[in-house]
Structure formats: structure tokens, C-alpha cells
Structure 1
Amino acid sequence: MAYTGRCACAAVTLEITGESVGTRQCWCRQCQTIAAGGPTHNAIFPAESVAIAGTLASSTWTAASGNTLTFHFCPSCGTQVYAQSSARPHLKTVRFGVLDQPHTLVPQVVIWTADAPHWAQINPALESWPQQPPAPPPA
């Protein structure tokens, strides 16, 4: 499977070869902040399968998990493109919103549910974790 994507202003484009090793909906406080109060929706790919063209900016901080998290975004329009954790540098976590439609990715797991607001709608059919789950298995 291959995926393509672009930021809102099309200055950054993506080409992804292969399937994701997992998909997640994340309710951590950092994700709520960058997602206007809701969760982020993410597909995790082997880093070498994600090719990006265009200039990215980044922001780094210590996540609640204790890992260093670096978010990469388009400096022109602010679109979140992907994140990378110091605990998993071999993976890139790509935001669903940057991927071209249609695609077949859907959240498989909900994480950091302990941080979700009381009004959050969390699908009870999905595996969920109150905090950080174990890393996805190697591809």
C-alpha cells in the first residue's frame, strides 16, 4: 500500500510506501493542545518508508511518558505532519489529516484515556490504554 499527502498549503508533500505498523487516537494533553481540544489521529510507519519533500519546522518537548517528542510541521501553514519519539526513532507517527483521501486508515487503539476530558467520546470497541502503551511490534 502507498499513501500520499500534503500540508494545507501544499508546500510539504509526503509519499509513504508500505503499511502502517499501527494506528492510534491519542488523548494526551500535548495532543489535545495541538488538536484544538480533541485527540490526534495517527498512523505509525517505519521511518524509512516516509519520504517528505519541502521544508519542515519542529518543536521538541518532554512528553508525559518521559520520552522526548519532536513534532514536525509546515512553517507556512502550521499543518502537523509527523512526530517522532526518542524511544522509537525508527518510527514516524504521521497525522491522519495530512494524508490524501481516501485512505483506509482508522484508529485501532485509543491511548492516554486518563487525560481525556469528561465529554470525550471514546469508542468502547477499541483497545484503550489510560497512558502510554507498549511500542508497536517491529514491521
Structure 2
Amino acid sequence: MMDARCSCGAVALSLPGPSSLVVACHCVDCQRRTGAPFGVGAFYSAAVVTISGTPKEYVRAAASGGEVRSYFCRDCGSTVYWMSDNLPAMIGVAVGAMADPRHPAPFRSVFEQSKHGWVEISGAAVEHFQQSSVPKNST
């Protein structure tokens, strides 16, 4: 088991372990959500995630269609997880909220048309996409 949590600890997720479904997203919405040039999410089946605390929800239109619901701490503002209409049975968890430097690297890099020129997501197994391409399977 491992956890993901906001900066102050008021919102936390209990996870079954590292996910093998890790995606780096360079869309402008993820850039603005994280305050960084890209976001990295680990995806889990919603059935295996336990959420504690009372996060605030922010809903936005997704570049890939549908809506994305981001959940963040009301106190410290950290976004810990999100859910998408396109992946209704999955929860995306901010890899940085896990604070585990051993967490697996992304296997997919999406929305690279808005990727910052100096960012390089590399590795022989990494798939690169201009648009979103997150698999529908669960982890």
C-alpha cells in the first residue's frame, strides 16, 4: 500500500501500490493545474482507491472531450486526483502527491503539440502522441 496526499495532509488517498499506467500530459490545462510544464498522473481503478478528507471539486471541459473533475485541498490548494468522463472507472492521481522518487516513469506522453521545447520524456518504451491517448484498461 502507498498513499498520495496534499501538502497539509487534509486530503489523502490510499493506493494499492505503484501504477504501471503512468502518463505525462502536456496539455495547457495540466500545465495550469500543476503550475509546471506538464502533469504526470498514475491511473488506478476507482474500486481500489480509498479517499479521506473533503476535497473541493473543480470541473472543466477536457481537450480530449467530456469533462474532467479535479479534486484539491480546500486548505493548501494541492490537486491530489482527478476523474474524467472519458475514463469513468479510473482515478488519475498526481504522481508528485505520492512523493515517492521510485515511482515508475511515464510510459506515455500526450498532448505533445503544447509540450515545452526543452522538455524530453524519453525511454525506449515511451509512446508519444500529439493528442490524448490514455488506454481504457485499469490498473
TM-score for both structures, normalised by structure 2: 0.89
RMSD: 1.8
Which residue does the alignment assign to 2:93?
Answer: 94
Tell me which stretches of 4 or more aligned residues in structure 1 moved more than 3 Å: none
Distance 1:51 1:29, change over 3 A: same
Contact residue 43 and residue 90 of structure 2 kept, 8 A = yes
Q: Please state whether the residue corresponding to 1:30 is helix, strand or coil.
A: helix
Greater mean deviation of Cα atoms: 127-136 or 87-96? 127-136
Unaligned ranges ≥5, structure 2: none
Which residue does the alignment assign to 2:49?
Answer: 50
1:66-105 equivalences under 5 Å are: 66-105=65-104
Which residue does the alignment assign to 1:130?
Answer: 130
Contact residue 57 and residue 74 of structure 1 kept, 8 A = yes
Contact residue 112 and residue 130 of structure 1 kept, 8 A = yes
TM-score for both structures, normalised by structure 1: 0.89
Amino acid at match of 1:114: Q
Unaligned ranges ≥5, structure 1: none
| Count of residue correspondences | 138
Give, in whole Å, the separation in 2 of the partners of 1:85 and 1:12.
19
Listed one character per residue, the Cα deviations across residues 29-83 of structure 1 (whole Å, up to 9, x for unaligned) are 1001122241001100000111111110011111111121110111110111111
Contact residue 41 and residue 95 of structure 1 kept, 8 A = yes
